[in-house]
Amino acid sequence: MAKTTDEMIEEFKSFTSYVRELESLSEQVWNTPIAEGKWTLKDVIAHMMLWDQYFYEEAIYKIKQGEPLTVKHLNFDEFNANAMEYSKTRSKKTIVEEFIEKRMNIIHDITGLNEEEYTREYKDGDKKKFSIKKYVRAFISHDKHHKKQIEAFKKTLHITK
């Protein structure tokens, strides 16, 4: 069954609670690669936070202000490499707080939109279609992908909480 707008927004918001739970893991765990040759937990959360910040500033906030969207298709590898560098300069606590702040900025601006506003297609900076609904759906999937990786990592540490 298709989820309602409110259910999708709630699911998107729920990742903030998950990140808050992860905060109880030690700084050492946060700085450990989640698998051989992979990012650290801190890198993963920083990566997600910076994508939230990018989409908020270049799309969601612009929609809210009635301004043209400036969000563009970026070089993922470059963006993600920058996220890893960023995470090296921040503590676990800072990354958690920033993740929650950036995600809640999005939640705040999209909560209460009517169906037409939620599904309306805008032109992004590349003249491609952008809708809040498609964005939220894509990033819920992105959240699930990383949550699955993190849960597998926690099992290797014998952390089941």
pTM score of the predicted model: 0.93
Measured CA to CA, the distance from residue 72 to residue 63 in angstroms comes to 15
Does residue 150 register a pLDDT over 80? yes
Q: What is the pLDDT of residues 64-118, one digit of tens each?
A: 999 999 999 888 889 989 999 999 999 999 999 999 999 999 999 999 888 899 9
Does residue 160 register a pLDDT over 80? no
- Give the dihedral of Cα atoms 31, 11, 117, 68; nearest 10 deg: 10
Does residue 161 register a pLDDT over 80? no
Q: What's the pLDDT score for residue 113?
A: 87
Q: What's the pLDDT score for residue 1?
A: 63
Does residue 7 register a pLDDT over 80? yes
Residues near 115 by Cβ (< 8 Å), separated by ≥ 6? 5
Long-range contacts of 39-43 (CB under 8 A, 24+ apart): 39/84, 40/87, 41/150, 41/153, 42/87, 42/90, 42/92, 42/95, 43/83, 43/84, 43/87
Mean pLDDT of the chain: 93
Q: What is the pLDDT of residues 25-79, one digit of tens each?
A: 999 999 999 999 999 999 999 999 999 999 999 999 999 999 999 999 888 889 9
SS3 track for the chain: CCCCHHHHHHHHHHHHHHHHHHCCCCHHHHCCECCCCCCEHHHHHHHHHHHHHHHHHHHHHHHHHCCCCCCCCCCHHHHHHHHHHHHHCCCHHHHHHHHHHHHHHHHHHHCCCCHHHHHCCEECCCCCEECHHHHHHHHHHHHHHHHHHHHHHHHHCCCCC
Q: What's the pLDDT score for residue 12?
A: 96
